[in-house]
A and B are shown apart, each in its own frame.
Chain A
Amino acid sequence: MIEIQNLTKYYGQIVGVKDLNFTVEKGEILGFLGPNGAGKSTTMNIITGYMPSTQGTVKVCGYDILEQPIEAKKRIGYLPEQPPVYMDMTVLDYLNFVSELKKVDKKIRKGQLDDIMEIVKITDVRKRLIKNLSKGYKQRVGLAQALIGKPEVLVLDEPTVGLDPKQIIEIRKLIKALGKEHTIILSSHILTEVSAVCERVVIIHKGEIAAIDTPENLSKNFGNMSKMSVTISGPKNSVVNSIKGIYGVKYIEPSAEKEKDVITYIIESDKDIDVRKPIFFAMAKAGYPIMELKSLGMTLEEIFLQVVTEEKEVG
């Protein structure tokens, strides 16, 4: 659906994004995650044809955004970071204007607008001037604008920024529902948002892709440690000492004592070495029963921080 190859953008001497490569499949919700200034908006501006790239190609539904811009743009709905609304127009006038810009057939225009306003819940405010709407409603009008013409691809730049928690949940639900009919690229610097909504995540940092995977796989595979939590019944010091001696264990820390001498430990080990069996045998031999053992995936938050700090060390 969307193919991005070697995408590079320089702002004068400064690198905006560098050598991005990824594809988005039909019907997928792809999350674009990165700290402020990582190049998320730049990438989105290039995908939607607002800004040309310095190098590389973007193809939307097979149409190159620079070579066949009109065909490609017909298939994209774009909500930029700042909703592109005219403050002195009413919601309905504005949406009618966008319908004309996107060349929606006159016969179906009214029906489509009614549907869209119903979906994003702005039917009640359709006769009001956009400048008098709250930030949340402006954002929805922006989203409605992106939906006009039923584009196959939706590009949403930080769609929940500036909204209150209730609105954020509503918009997220809405995006998930839209994902059934549209291919969506969504950017965010909020991790929970991406993991709640997206099927795949691109982590971008300083203009380069740091990781692409599903949120689950990212938390499973990322980093070079695997982490588990083990609850063992036995005296703390001797448990810690015997586990420390096991090959592959890098770090152990008691985290909670539920009953006397029943303690939960957080253990980190080399990613390639499975230390669960040695721990079991060691504890069995010492006579300390294991009450609970579960592996902990890293949260996106941790991955994110790790990606960012690793980059710093390299730089």
Chain B
Amino acid sequence: MPLIDLPASWCQDVVKVLETGTTGREIRWTFDSTQDYESDFSYAFPNEVYPAIAAYLRGHQPRGCPKRMEKPPGETYDFFFTFKVKQAYGKVLLRPDRKNIVVFSAHLPRFPRLSCE
């Protein structure tokens, strides 16, 4: 599956949650994603990455890969974005209510390309 333009509605809703949500409530992190973020960006707090992700998703033609998974319900995409002048890898789930997200990944890229490239 090739790299796609991330759906505008998905981007809009994720950005809205990032801008208005609270970490641990509307913005959930898995244990592993938090630990990975902590390892790669020890000098940053989790909420510092939200504006960077939002800026990428609001930018011109954000691109990424859809992640088809048996669960969880909702839409998940992964993408590269810039954070603290470094390329970072993000994987975010927008839950079916479109008011909650789960950050599955926000860390330095482990691979040079996204899964669908």
Chains A and B bind each other: no
- Chain B residues with CB under 8 Å of chain A are none
